[in-house]
Amino acid sequence: MKYVDEFRKREEAQGLLRKIREISRREVSIMEICGTHTHSISKYGVREALPPNIRLISGPGCPVCVTSAADVNRLLDFSRSRRDVVIATFGDMMKVPGSSSSLQEEKARGGDIRVVYSPLGALDIAREDTGREVVLFAVGFETTVPTVAATMLAAREEGLKNFSVLSLHKLTPPAMRALMDTGEIDIDGFICPGHVTAIIGAGAYGFLATEYGSPCVVAGFEPIDAIMGIYMLVRQLEEGRKDIEIEYDRVVTWDGNLKAQEVMRSVFEPADSLWRGIGNIPGSGLRIRDEFADMDAEKRFSIPPGEDAEPRGCKCGSVLKGLITPDACPLFAKACTPEFPIGPCMVSSEGTCAAFFKYRRAA
């Protein structure tokens, strides 16, 4: 049975690709906003299978990559100045190079920095050792925010006094608006992220269709989802429609997860946020509400801002805005590799440079 399923999957994927080739006439540029899409598209060789008139541009959808250099340096400074604090962080943040080191290096030098798989992992550490302060460096988009909020609510409920969060969260729709407003790049339509949209709902992209005339398709992360998403978007573009469509309807609805949105709102409120390569985007971040000030690491430790210096020669900013593909960066695959990354886009498994390096070098 399994063999048959796999076979069908291949047939289906190749069939969809064929349909795209059949209907596609115009030159179009499609942005996939999300790093997981970038990864999946590269991993399964989707880009190469599309006709040349369809250009896929990778957008700023990897939370590690868009964390500003200033924020990375800030985390490193904090870790250096407070060796007594346990720092919990998610995966790839460990490897992002700052101006002088990375969290991975700070850990080797004696910082108590731990990778957690979910915010609850950080809470566990705080529970185990109530004598030590635990700070969660919370990066991520709308997908992770509700669980961070729920974790904070749980900490409050339990009366834990040694747990706090540094909120570096970012919101997707304001970044899409900012990208359109720069006017630097032509985007005909967006493939929108499945997980983020499961929370915020497809309706959140309505402004792209009405104000900017860009159709959107929300797609899942299986290769067939991504190809189907591209097909739906190309069909819209060919027909001259500007709609918000949902490919990933097994998970995504128009309104999203209202419960999660409420939890999120109860703890966080929108704030300005600094994006790598793009700069400050109004209302694109989340700060912890005053009611939770005791759990706001920012206030609790008064963490000063870090130096905003991009790595020398790194073109992450242009990659994140979709202005260039990684191979246009002079450092790509030379000075900058996943083993010795210079910019965050080469670090994270969802980073565009890492995906290009891993899957596209002379396949």
Binding site for ligand SF4 (CB under 6 A): 314-316, 319, 326, 329, 331-332, 336, 342-343, 345-346, 353
> Going residue by residue from 68 to 97, which x/- string records binding to other proteins, judged by CB under 8 A?
----------------------xxx-xx--
> What's the full length of the chain, in residues?
363
Residue 229 binds other proteins (CB under 8 A): no
- 311 is a contact residue toward other proteins (CB under 8 A): no
Q: How far is the CB of 96 from ligand SF4 (least distance, A)?
A: 10
Q: Closer to ligand SF4 by CB, 40 or 348: give it.
A: 348
| From 28-36, 238-246, 258-266, 268-276, span contacting other proteins (CB under 8 A) | 28-36
User: Taking CB under 8 A as the criterion, which residues in 135-194 touch other proteins?
Assistant: 139-141, 143-144, 193
The CB density around residue 153, as the number of other CB atoms within 10 Å, is: 15
Contacts of 26 (CB under 8 A, 6+ apart): 53, 237, 238
Q: What residues contact residue 181 under an 8 Å CB cut-off, 6+ apart?
A: none
| Among 210-218, 241-249, 290-298, 334-342, the segment contacting other proteins (CB under 8 A) | 334-342
**Which residues lie across from 190 on neighbouring strands?**
31, 216
The answer to whether residues 45 and 363 touch, using CB atoms and an 8 Å cutoff, is yes
Instruction: Choose which of 59, 223, 256, 343 interacts with other proteins (CB under 8 A).
Output: 223
Element (H, E) at 264: helix 258-267
> Among ligand SF4, other proteins, none, what does residue 338 contact (CB within 5–8 Å per kind)?
other proteins
Strand, coil or helix: what is 140? coil
Q: How many CB atoms lie within 10 A of CB 290?
A: 9
Taking the complex as a whole, the smallest distance from the CB of residue 258 to ligand SF4 amounts, in Å, to 38
The partner in contact with residue 26, picked from ligand SF4, other proteins, none with C-beta cut-offs of 5 to 8 angstroms by kind, is none
> Binding to other proteins by residue 250, rule CB under 8 A?
no
Minimum CB distance to other proteins smaller for 45 or for 282: 45
Residue with tokens 């999203």: 256
Structure tokens given for 191: 């493939």
Judged by beta carbon distances under 5 to 8 A according to partner kind, the member of ligand SF4, other proteins, none in contact with residue 95 is other proteins
Residue 268 phi, psi dihedral angles, 5° rounding: -115, 155
Query: Whose Cβ is closer to ligand SF4: residue 267's or residue 345's?
Result: 345
| 109 touches other proteins by CB under 8 A | no
Which among 53, 12, 134, 71 is positioned nearest to 309, based on CA atoms? 71
Q: Which residue has the CB atom at the shortest distance from ligand SF4?
A: 343
| Shortest separation between residue 55's beta carbon and other proteins, angstroms | 18
The first and second tokens of residue 40, run together, are: 């999946």
Gap between the Cα atoms of 343 and 363, Å rounded: 24
Phi-psi region of 153 (alpha: psi -120 to 50; beta: other; left: phi over 0): alpha
d(CA 274, CA 279): 5
Distances (CA, A) of 360 to 46, 343, 355: 11, 18, 8
* 233 vs 336 by CB, closer to ligand SF4: 336
Q: Which residues of this protein are in contact with other proteins, per CB under 8 A?
A: 3, 6, 9-10, 13-14, 34-36, 42-46, 48-49, 61-64, 90-92, 94-95, 115, 117, 121, 124, 139-141, 143-144, 193, 195-196, 223-224, 227, 337-339, 348-350, 358-363
